[in-house]
Chains A and B, each alone.
Chain A
Amino acid sequence: MTRAQMEEIALQLAGTDIARLDLSGPEGQWLIVNEAGQTRISFVSAQDRVTVKAPRAGLLLTTHPLRSTPLVRSGDSVKKGQVIALLQAGSLLQSIIAPCAGTVLSMPVPEGALVGYGTALFELQAETSGR
């Protein structure tokens, strides 16, 4: 896929009520967001994409037990070392830490789900991207 091709698709989308087009391939992920005819194209290179995996088994908490708002949401920018989720095992809470600065692209696991070692919890776009 080239940017020119994506711009052509964006033009087609502008006249429709399709709000979002997500196109993933080996080179990365294209995203077209269509808000009332205004389209935005973004691209995340596969090299800039960081998957945060569960370091152990536990229940995934995206919100601190004492709070009602999530630690981070999809689309939030995060700092390196920031706590982005908690893994609960019994009474223990283990921090899931952002390995780099960047933006949260997606959180595939729902709140409270039981995850195993190595389960992908977050997709981040690393800030080092030159774009």
Chain B
Amino acid sequence: MIEILSSSSLVTVQDLGRFGALGLGVSHSGAMDRLALMAGQILLEQSDQLAGIEIPIFPFKIKFHQPCRFVLTGADHQARLGDEMVWPWMVAEAGTGQVLTIERAESARWPASRVYLCVAGGIDVPLALGSRSTQLRGQFGGFCGRILQKGDQLPIGISTAMAKTVLKVGVVPPALSMPRLREGVVLIRVMRAAEYEAFTQASREALWASPWKITSQSDRYGYRLSGPTISPEHPLELRSHGIVPGVIQVPHGGQPIIQMRDAQPSGGYPKIATVIEADLWRLGQAPIGSSVYFVEVTWQEAVEALDEIESWLEEVRRMIALARFDSNGDVPS
């Protein structure tokens, strides 16, 4: 069991998300940076379907009430276990009673906003509609359907890995091994959406040419962007229809909104583009106040981008298995 010691806001239990319930009006939820969460679970030699804790606000402090192997992935940060330094993206081990403190990074080579705490055995909250992710709007899933509070005691699942020696390994964060930047600004790949042609030519050109700032009115529901005004040729009125994370809507003000993991499953604003699934993790880490560029890709390129993510994960799984093999001393000399 782990206990939350800090009164930080917006910290939630997340797994990869709740799928198949959009028709019931239930959004996906799940980690904003699913790659960081998956890498954390793989590093702990366990299923990538287990839940971890998403931490967007610092400092964050917990106490371990049992021996526990853990890893902190996602954004860079300064973490200490007792008075010992804990390195990002590297497996560490806590003893009973030890306190883990996570603070903001002093300077970040990779500007990112969310840290993921993964523990051996996973955060063992009950499944709700097939997922452990927190559904904030519906107030279910995760821990009591809400953001974590000081004093919360979270159960940890039984870990088979604890029987083995700890592998003190880590991985190079994917933002460093698969960087996508233009002039130092994060490049997000998107596909044209249904109403793309309904916007003026100047608006369409501005979509590709301008950097888009992520405003302070951005959260797990959606990112509100600021940049040139995007206008339709004629006023557009649509009935509410299904939308998914990644969809870029343009409301009447002409400033786009990107739907994120907690987005409601329907909306009526016209859609100019959609962020491809393979870049949602990258966007999910982009800090408020930073900017992104959009670059157009085809369906085929979007599918290939997903393949690249899958091969990165596969490579990490293979390397961890190899490190375990090495540590067992089974390698023929």
Contact = CB atoms under 8 A, between A and B. Distances in A.
A86 B109 contact: no
A68 interface: yes
Given A83-B87, A92-B169, A93-B169, A66 B176 contact: yes
Given A93-B170, A94-B169, A64 B88 contact: yes
Categorize the interface residue count of chain A: 20 to 34
A56 interface: yes
B108 A66 contact: yes
A95 interface: yes
A59 to B, nearest CB: 10
Nearest to A79: B84
Nearest to B331: A56
A63 B211 CA distance: 32
B326 A93 contact: no
A9 interface: no
B171 A97 contact: no
Nearest to B91: A95
B173 A65 contact: yes
B170 A95 contact: yes
Interface string B130-171: 000000000000000000000000000000000000001111
A67 B168 CA distance: 19
A91 B168 contact: no
Given A64-B87, A66-B76, A83-B90, A91 B110 contact: no
A39 interface: no
A93 B171 contact: yes
B168 A88 contact: no
Q: Do most interface residues of chain B lie in helix, strand or loop, or is the interface mixed? A: mixed
Interface in A50-64: 56, 64
B129 interface: no
Contacts of B172: 65, 88, 91, 93
B109 A68 contact: yes
B313 to A, nearest CB: 10
A83 B173 contact: no
A64 B86 CA distance: 11
Interface string A90-111: 1111110100000000000000
A89 interface: yes
B315 A93 contact: no
A93 B6 CA distance: 31
Q: Report which residue of A64, A93, A97 has the largest number of chain B beta carbons within 10 angstroms of its beta carbon.
A: A93
Contacts of A82: 84-85
A62 to B, nearest CB: 13
Given A64-B87, A66-B89, A66-B176, A86 B110 contact: no
Given A56-B326, A91-B171, A97-B168, A65 B176 contact: yes
A24 B316 CA distance: 43
Q: Which 9 A-B pairs have the closest CB atoms?
A: A92-B319, A93-B170, A95-B168, A66-B76, A91-B171, A91-B172, A65-B172, A94-B169, A65-B176
Given A65-B109, A66-B76, A92-B169, 6 more contacts: A79-B84, A86-B170, A91-B177, A91-B316, A93-B169, A97-B168
